[in-house]
Structure 1
């Protein structure tokens, strides 16, 4: 992929998945605005990209407000003359079960993931429309937003909203030749290292050992670098006709998520009473009830 002449902003790119996305875009030739709340991490990321022959600058700001989003777009334009790609990756976790989650826990996560995606995408869309040459919005979702996850009321809701953003903005920005897609990654990061089923593979990576095929294929679990290719692809001309999609990536697996759809329906003349629903549910609907949460398979012994 050749992204020479393109300019990208990647939020939350001081480490983890965001850093992998920023490095992937820079390796393909794009100039990158690295963003993080940690000045040291942002500076180190820029140094790594520049040392590898890429172009990058840091903008240290907490994503969420309109002012922060405007600052990120302005930095791209001031430094590199334009903006072509906005990757909304920044995120935080405040995991607690529903009855223990505080308003502050909820607001912190929704403020970064959902409001941060909204404000950054809005600022980018304004710039894309002004330039008149199209653009790419690449929004980072999560399997938790697709299926739910225990203890992640705030995170799951925000990530589900991110995919809703992608579907809606794909329609709204089509005339401006702006594509909008969500990426649903799985990788070894601070946000996945607490999942018990993935612990052995996280430890393997920390020890410098390869992730076994079962994890890479069946669990779609790998390194952040494994998830970077799809972001580079979606930023490229090869993806100019792809929009409104939720694309899964992780380990050796690339996938496409469906949107919610009706799986079964029944009809009653005059409508449904509670008694009629109770009578019909076991025979028509029960077999089609949907699972909740990620059901990670166990490796055969």
Structure 2
């Protein structure tokens, strides 16, 4: 069930999570197209893959434009003769509260995350369907897209949109033998490095020390490498029956997220009028309301000092 002979594209793979994905795919036998907007980061990433004994080429271009999608797929086919796996990981952040977020803040994040995922997957799927040998689409989501997060209107919208597209693609691509799944990674990254709550874990990862068990087990928070095994698995023949899923991974934890379902269903003959809702809401509906955002347990006493 190795990835020998497979070819993968990983967008945004010059560093961080994307680099970990590319390296693991190569470690399992796949040839990799590394993509980043930073030419040096892309070159360095490809060099590490070759250092592992793997094969890698680079495409230095921002995702979003259809031209980049065509270049990525074309490079895979021209360099390695085929395309089997696409991991859409590239992303940017432009965090701001709603009333301060500019049009450019919103458009930039939506263009890279949402449009970039759409254009790249569309081009890859066109090729995969024409060849007729199936394929694997793996799109990177976020807990923010699942639960929301203060100051991330643009990012939450993009990541929630990616999950919606994946569920649709799983239906549309089934007959072609192409799977589509979303991965929700949680790891020490540049984004989490600025959050005091994770300071101890991020510092440990940066020094190469073990991430404390509280983070790895209780929070499912570990290193970028902890998330990469799932990417390789979803890209393999062992996952041929896994599609339309949203799977969380981090530290020692793996989660399959539910698809949205009604938390409560109630009926009233004649429909729910304003007066009926005013009367019924406190007793019938209030307790079923859903929480928003993520909540974390208190840090153990021995980890509090690093977070303060």
TM-score in terms of structure 1 length: 0.98
Partner of 1:26: 26
Partner of 1:203: 203
Kindly state the Cα deviation for residue 180 of structure 1 after the two structures are TM-superposed. Answer: 0.1
Aligned equivalents of 2:288, 2:295: Cα separation in 1: 16
Kindly state the Cα deviation for residue 208 of structure 1 after the two structures are TM-superposed. Answer: 3.0
Aligned equivalents of 1:243, 1:277: Cα separation in 2: 39
> Is 221-230 or 190-199 further displaced after alignment?
190-199
Kindly state the Cα deviation for residue 231 of structure 1 after the two structures are TM-superposed. Answer: 0.3
Aligned equivalents of 1:74, 1:195: Cα separation in 2: 39
Partner of 2:67: 67
Aligned equivalents of 2:123, 2:196: Cα separation in 1: 38
1:145, 1:156 within 8 Å by CA — same for their partners in 2? yes
Kindly state the Cα deviation for residue 196 of structure 1 after the two structures are TM-superposed. Answer: 3.0
Partner of 1:212: 212
Q: 1:3-44: per-residue Cα shift (whole Å, max 9, x none)? A: 011000000000000000000000000000000000000000
Partner of 2:298: 298
Partner of 2:37: 37
Kindly state the Cα deviation for residue 300 of structure 1 after the two structures are TM-superposed. Answer: 3.9
> Is 193-202 or 152-161 further displaced after alignment?
193-202
Partner of 2:305: none
Aligned equivalents of 1:26, 1:115: Cα separation in 2: 27
Matched, 1:103 2:103: yes
Kindly state the Cα deviation for residue 205 of structure 1 after the two structures are TM-superposed. Answer: 1.9
Partner of 1:173: 173
Partner of 1:92: 92
1:134, 1:178 within 8 Å by CA — same for their partners in 2? yes
Q: How does 1:147-296 map to 2 (within 5 A)?
A: 147-296=147-296
Q: 1:189-239: per-residue Cα shift (whole Å, max 9, x none)? A: 112222332122112222332211110011111110000000000000110
Aligned equivalents of 1:156, 1:44: Cα separation in 2: 31
TM-score in terms of structure 2 length: 0.96
Q: Partner of 1:53: helix, strand, or coil? A: coil
**CA RMSD, 1 decimal:** 0.9
Aligned equivalents of 1:102, 1:254: Cα separation in 2: 36
Kindly state the Cα deviation for residue 77 of structure 1 after the two structures are TM-superposed. Answer: 0.3
Aligned equivalents of 1:218, 1:291: Cα separation in 2: 20
Kindly state the Cα deviation for residue 260 of structure 1 after the two structures are TM-superposed. Answer: 0.9
Aligned equivalents of 1:205, 1:177: Cα separation in 2: 38
Aligned equivalents of 1:21, 1:66: Cα separation in 2: 23
1:197, 1:296 within 8 Å by CA — same for their partners in 2? no
Aligned equivalents of 1:265, 1:129: Cα separation in 2: 41
Number of matched pairs:
301
Structure 2: runs of 5 or more not aligned:
302-308
